[in-house]
């Protein structure tokens, strides 16, 4: 197991800076996920760790070695790409063996490593097939196996599941989790899919425009997002955001005025220390509570029935939509056009200032 350290890492293409002074410690043996929208710099960062992109400024260390000037083959990492990049004329066995043979690994060790990887990934019956005879999920398992047999210090995954259909993506995700549990290797994974991040990661690094917005364990990031960007990016459906105004305090906790016919709402957020300027209230769908006496009244525009839960998209008097999760025991009672009364769970409200910084309840 090997740790990876990024110190002041910056990447420029000409005058365009896509990664800005990034500092990060990736712990030995952890499964770290870079999560963010397209263009945020996560794949560029991974490619710099792999040695496929140069570093404009800063240092990358793998274990106790600075590797900025080392070629990819000398860094002790193995990379799995979004596209499988298998040799079409070679069998599965030969695809997995090719890199080992080129680096002078003994034939007996090649046989052992491929046998172990094939058992782990259930590739035994496929070893004599060629890529054209495999499904997409099988090809991706071969690509993962090709990385496993190298016995690297760290694994780097660049959106390896994005080409798979939903069922295969779920299965391969579970296989990756099992591989990590078996090997206890350092793994760095890039994705824009929050479900992949939440289910695989030991820690998540949420990125936006070449910068780190937040680092934390999956549930920590979900429950206590550090910024409005993180709050809106993590979670399905996205967090509800409501522009609010200060309306005093009660017992040191802030009371806010919502733009819905003068509705006021207490919170668990300390009033002291909040900066001046506009405030935005954030609340997740599961914390928008149906309440026959609730102060929030709207009309159901859409009802999403997702099997495990149902969501009501409620149009408020000012035209804003709020998404509420319907109670499982009552979800079939509601239909489009119904009037719905709601309240907000004051203990699960988030507040964001003008800069996007989050303020949470205490």
What is the 3-state secondary structure of 98-141? Answer: HHHHHCCCCHHHHHHHHHHHHHHHCCHHHCCCCHHHCCHHHHHH
Listed in sequence order, the residues at least 6 apart from 290 whose beta carbon sits closer than 8 Å to its beta carbon are 324, 326, 327, 330, 340, 341, 342
pLDDT band at 167 (very low <50, low <70, confident <90, very high): confident
Give residue-wise pLDDT tens across range 17-63.
Answer: 999 999 999 999 999 999 999 999 999 999 999 999 999 999 999 99
262 pLDDT higher than 80: no
183 pLDDT higher than 90: no
Give 147 or 82, the one with higher predicted confidence.
147
Kindly state the helix (H) or strand (E) to which residue 231 belongs, with its residue range. helix 228-233
Name the one residue in this structure whose structure tokens are 């009364």.
341
Give residue-wise pLDDT tens across range 74-100.
Answer: 999 999 988 888 999 999 999 999 999
Beta pairing class for 186-191 and 154-158: parallel
- The mean pLDDT of 308-322, rounded to a whole number, is 94
Name the one residue in this structure whose structure tokens are 């190298």.
150
Q: What angle do CA 130, 132, 135 make, to 5 degrees?
A: 105
CB 299 within 8 A of CB 343: no
Beta bridge mates, 215: 205
pLDDT at 168: 80
pLDDT at 270: 83
CB 295 within 8 A of CB 309: no
- Domains of the chain and any CATH numbers: 4-227 (3.40.50.300), 240-360 (2.40.50.140)
Mark residue 106 as left, alpha or beta (left: phi above 0; alpha: psi -120 to 50; beta: remaining): beta
pLDDT at 1: 65
**What is d(CA 55, CA 48) in angstroms, rounded to the nearest whole number?**
6
pLDDT at 121: 86
CB 285 within 8 A of CB 302: no
CA distances in angstroms from 238 to 71, 162, 286, listed in the order given: 41, 21, 11
**What is d(CA 23, CA 9) in angstroms, rounded to the nearest whole number?**
7
pLDDT band at 212 (very low <50, low <70, confident <90, very high): very high
- The mean pLDDT of 213-231, rounded to a whole number, is 97
Q: Which of 158, 166, 114, 116 is nearest to 137 (CA)?
A: 166
**What is d(CA 230, CA 219) in angstroms, rounded to the nearest whole number?**
12
CB 198 within 8 A of CB 222: yes
Half-sphere exposure at residue 198, Cβ-oriented, CA atoms within 13 angstroms: 13
2 pLDDT higher than 70: yes
**What is d(CA 331, CA 338) in angstroms, rounded to the nearest whole number?**
12
Listed in sequence order, the residues at least 6 apart from 125 whose beta carbon sits closer than 8 Å to its beta carbon are none
Q: What is the dihedral of CA 168, 170, 176, 179, to 10 degrees?
A: -90
360 pLDDT higher than 90: no
Beta strands (DSSP E) in 271-315 are 279-283, 288-290, 296-305, 310-315
313 pLDDT higher than 90: yes
Neighbours of 152 (CB within 10 A): 19
pLDDT at 362: 60
**What is d(CA 99, CA 102) in angstroms, rounded to the nearest whole number?**
5
The per-residue pLDDT of the chain, averaged, comes to 92
pLDDT at 198: 94
164 pLDDT higher than 90: no
Give residue-wise pLDDT tens across range 263-280.
Answer: 898 888 888 888 888 999
246 pLDDT higher than 80: yes
**What is d(CA 154, CA 265) in angstroms, rounded to the nearest whole number?**
49
154 pLDDT higher than 90: yes
């Amino acid at each position: 197991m090997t740790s990876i350290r990024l110190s002041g890492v910056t990447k420029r293409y000409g005058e365009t800076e896509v990664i800005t002074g990034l500092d990060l410690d990736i712990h030995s043996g952890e499964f770290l996920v870079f999560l963010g929208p397209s263009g945020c710099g996560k794949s560029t960062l991974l490619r710099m760790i792999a040695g496929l992109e140069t570093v404009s400024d800063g240092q990358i260390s793998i274990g106790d070695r600075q590797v900025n000037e080392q070629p990819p083959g000398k860094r002790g990492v193995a990379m799995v790409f979004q596209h499988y990049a298998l040799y079409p004329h070679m069998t599965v066995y030969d695809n997995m063996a090719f890199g080992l043979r080129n680096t002078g690994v003994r034939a007996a060790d090649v046989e052992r490593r491929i046998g172990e990887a094939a058992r782990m990934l259930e590739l035994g019956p496929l070893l004599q097939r060629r890529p054209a005879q495999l499904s997409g999920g099988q090809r991706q398992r071969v690509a993962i196996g090709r990385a496993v047999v190298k016995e690297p210090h760290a694994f780097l995954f660049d959106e390896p599941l994005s080409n798979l259909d939903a069922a295969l993506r779920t299965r391969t995700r579970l296989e990756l989790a099992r591989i990590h549990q078996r090997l206890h290797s350092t793994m760095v994974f890039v994705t824009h899919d929050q479900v992949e991040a939440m289910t695989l990661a030991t820690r998540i690094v949420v990125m936006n425009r070449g910068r780190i917005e937040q680092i934390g364990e999956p549930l920590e990031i979900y429950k206590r997002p550090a910024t409005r960007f993180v709050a809106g990016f993590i979670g399905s459906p996205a967090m509800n955001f409501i522009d609010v105004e200060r309306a005093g305090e009660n017992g040191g906790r802030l009371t806010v005025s919502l733009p819905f016919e003068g509705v006021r709402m207490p919170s668990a957020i300390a009033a002291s220390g909040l900066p001046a300027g506009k405030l935005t209230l954030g609340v997740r769908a599961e914390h928008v509570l149906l309440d026959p006496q609730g102060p929030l009244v709207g009309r159901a525009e859409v009802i999403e029935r997702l099997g495990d839960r149902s969501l009501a998209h409620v149009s408020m008097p000012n035209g804003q939509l709020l998404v509420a999760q319907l109670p499982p025991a009552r979800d079939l009672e509601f239909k489009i056009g119904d009037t719905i009364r709601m309240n907000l769970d004051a203990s699960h409200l988030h507040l964001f200032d003008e800069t996007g910084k989050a303020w949470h309840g205490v």
